[in-house]
Structure 1
Amino acid sequence: MTQSWRTPLWLIEAFYGTPWPMEARLANYRLIGRWGYEGAIYAPKSDRSLRSEWQRDFTREENSQLEEMAATARESGLEFGVGLSPLEIWEDWSRENRARLRSKLISLHDRGCRVLSLLFDDMRGDRPQLASFQGEIVAFVRDHWPGHRVIVCPTYYSDDPILASIFGEPPPRYLEELSHRIAPDVGIFWTGPKVVSDAIGLDHIREVTSRMGRQPFLWDNYPVNDGARTSRYLFLKGVQGRGPLMSGQLVGYAANPMVQPHLSQIPLHALGRLARDPVNSCADAAFEDSVRACVSGRAAGAILAHVDDFCERGLDLLSDREQELIAGAFREIGGPHASEVVAWLANEYEFDPDCLTG
């Protein structure tokens, strides 16, 4: 049972590019269940059945995979959620589209999903009635969702100017109006002052809480590395400056992991430790403990020896010779964590801009 003073910790697999392999995803569900996480949300940007093709029925294979994820989450003590992005649905809020949306909700629930994340991100938002349209959709989903929880991601989920530059200027007081139109029991995602926030202070969270009329559900884009710049790094160190947020300042905290499922275990484990003891947990000590808890033998020592190469220098500052030497050492060690390091050094996780429109 989650204690009232502690912020519930979630995993949200919501990065661009290739999703985690199913075997690795299920293994990570089992692990985070032991680390004190409350739930896991499946929301890869590349899953068209939840985004660009949301109107169609799931295939037999998609149904089977959702059922397997839900069953594994449940067995691991986790709530299971799915992120649904009904792209541009307010452009055609017809009876037919409403029926398709309701059918999708029922299908997700039948597969074992109990938490619905309704995602309005990655959509144009420069229209005056945006909050009104989205509020009506959220009310419809809340009324027809058979599960017990709905969480919404606004189109403008941060005040970061980059969102306006990509999706158009938001309507005035968009967040305040949307929050006013959404029932109090619906969660609202927020990423902090930036889309990828280095620091998230208590004053910022208090301000957003006032604007929303409720505590935000923090969607922390850490340790995700799916972008053109971030894919050049492996963010293995423990997150900084989040401890004060773990003691009742948020309705929930969702971590968006790295593209590498096994290496993601290290920062996810460190977050679990931080959530359990936000006052006394030291990020550096938690990181080393997490490496040794998640990675066996020689691989753990090699990761600790090269952590600054992965987190600070990255591929662009490592010479070809350095990359060859590090890759050779990890190739000799072997195992899933070492293999992901070798693949990263070989640029196998290079950012592909086509993933943004796929």
Structure 2
Amino acid sequence: LPGLAEAQADIVHWIAGRTRASRIVMCPTYYSDDPALDMAFGVRPQGYLEAVGKALDTRIDIFWTGEEVCSRAYGVRHLERVGEQLRRRPFLWDNYPVNDGPRMSPFLYLRGFTGRPAGIGPRLSAHAINPALQPELTLLPALTLPESYRLGEDYDYGAALAASAQELLGPELSDLVRRHLILLNDTGLDRMDTAVRDRLRGRYAAIDHTAAREIVDWLDGKWVMTLDMMNGDH
């Protein structure tokens, strides 16, 4: 659409003039450098980010997910460049540990955050994370992110996960989840042997804890999302 950025800014300004919200965040059409967005929405207009940044009131934040929709890491120079384009520090929308959609729902992303060095903090207006479908299990990696900022170069993502698991799950369930991390996080439902899945289900079904029930439901396929579900045909 011609004048896409300017039209979007006008809409957000209209909303801003009528809401009592204390903070407004806009999600632009092209919220990442990822070419997947160009495939989904059409080729982005030249200078789109610069146009959004120029047209939008600087008091309004702008979401950004990084070099990819689901970025593996964030660099200081990348965020500085985006900040210059947007004329404000980006509001980071971090797509981890999200596991929605057909490609990601067969996995439980439980490992501690990596690739988010403390040095990116001054380049951001905020850092939000996109949670997993399992709210209790989301807390395991979520609690490691502030530790990454707090400890800086001394941050150890394995130790941070061990600490959050101990705090949230207690010793028995914490030990079980950490021992099965590769199966849950990397192998996933589609590649997991049926006998292994049944053994895991038996172990977690015996534990009275919300996180254990989330794992059992995941093993039973209750969290799996399909393309039909994404398209509203469920």
Distance 1:275 1:327 in 2: 35
Q: Aligned residue for 1:342? A: 216
Work out the CA distance in 2 between the residues paired with 1:353 and 1:203. Answer: 36
Kept in 1, the 8 Å contact 2:76–2:119? The answer is yes
Name the counterpart of 1:205. Answer: 79
2:223 is paired with a residue whose SS is coil
Task: Tell me whether 244-253 or 198-207 shows the greater mean CA deviation.
Answer: 244-253
Q: Which string of whole-angstrom CA distances, capped at 9 and with x for unpartnered residues, describes residues 97-156 of structure 1? A: xxxxxxxxxxxxxxxxxxxxxxxxxxxxxx122111101111112222222211111011
Q: What's the CA shift string for 1:26-56, capped at 9, x where partnerless? A: xxxxxxxxxxxxxxxxxxxxxxxxxxxxxxx
Unaligned runs of 5+ in 2: none
Q: In the alignment, residue 213 of structure 2 is paired with which amino acid?
A: S
Q: Which amino acid aligns with 1:251?
A: S
The answer to whether the Cα contact below 8 Å between 2:91 and 2:125 also exists between their aligned partners in 1 is yes
CA displacement at 1:329 relative to structure 2: 0.8
Deviation at 1:278, TM superposition (A): 3.1
TM-aligned CA distance change 1:243 to 1:316, over 3 Å: same
For residues 349 and 268 of structure 1, what CA distance do their matches in structure 2 show?
20
The partner residue of 1:255 within 129, 135, 149 is 129
Partner secondary structure for residue 59 of structure 2:
coil
1:215, 1:279 → 2: CA distance?
23
**Gaps in structure 1 of 5+ consecutive residues:** 1-126
Q: Which residue identity is paired with 1:349?
A: W
Distance in 2 of aligned mates of 1:336 and 1:146: 36
Shift of the alpha carbon at 1:229? 1.4
Indicate if the aligned counterparts of 1:202 and 1:244 stay in contact, CA closer than 8 A: no
Query: 2 CA distance for matches of 1:246 and 1:174?
Result: 24
Aligned AA for 2:165? V
Superposition pairs of residues 57-72 of structure 1, within 5 angstroms: none
SS in 1 for 2:200: helix
Asked if residue 328 in structure 1 is aligned to residue 202 in structure 2, the reply is yes
Alignment length (residue pairs):
232
SS in 1 for 2:12: helix
Q: Does 1:171 align with 2:45?
A: yes
2:206 match: secondary structure = helix
- Percentage of matched positions with identical amino acids: 34
Deviations along 1:204-246, one digit per CA (max 9) or x if unpaired, are: 1111111111110000000000021111111111111102355
Is the aligned partner of 1:289 residue 2:163?
yes
Q: Tell me if structure 1 keeps the 8 A contact 2:95–2:130.
A: yes
1:278 to 138, 143, 152: 152
Among candidates 319, 325, 330, match of residue 193 of structure 2: 319
- Structure 1 residues 154-207: Cα deviation after superposition (integer angstroms, max 9, x where no partner): 011011111111111121111110111011111000000010111221121111
2:93 maps to which of 219, 243, 249: 219
Name the CA distance, whole Å, in 1 between partners of 2:177 and 2:120.
27
Residues of 1 paired with 2:122 and 2:77: CA distance? 14
Q: Which amino acid aligns with 1:158?
A: S
Q: Is the Cα–Cα contact under 8 Å of residues 247 and 278 in structure 1 kept in the other structure?
A: no
Match among 220, 228, 234 for residue 354 of structure 1:
228
Computed over aligned residues only, the root mean square deviation of the Cα atoms, in angstroms, reads 1.4
- Which residue identity lines up with residue 148 of structure 1 in the other structure? S
Alpha-carbon distance in 2 for matches of 1:128, 1:280: 49
Quick check: 1:151–1:186 contact (8 Å CA) kept in 2?
yes
- Structure 1 moving runs of 4+ over 6 Å: none
TM-superposition CA deviations, 1:68-112 (whole Å, max 9, x none):
xxxxxxxxxxxxxxxxxxxxxxxxxxxxxxxxxxxxxxxxxxxxx
Query: What is residue 7 of structure 2 aligned with on the other side?
Result: 133
Provide the residue aligned with 1:304 in structure 2.
178
Aligned ranges for residues 18-167 of structure 1 at < 5 Å?
Answer: 127-167=1-41
User: Does the 8 Å CA contact 1:315/1:345 hold for their aligned counterparts?
Assistant: yes
Q: Which amino acid aligns with 1:250?
A: L
For the residue of structure 2 that corresponds to 1:277, the secondary structure is helix
- Structure 2 partner of 1:110: none
Aligned to 1:240: 114
Q: Is the CA contact (8 Å cut-off) linking 1:246 and 1:278 kept in structure 2? A: no
In the alignment, the residues of structure 2 paired with residue 246 and residue 287 of structure 1 have an alpha-carbon distance, to the nearest angstrom, of 21
SS at match of 2:92: strand
**Quick check: 1:232–1:316 contact (8 Å CA) kept in 2?**
yes
Say which structure is richer in helix.
2
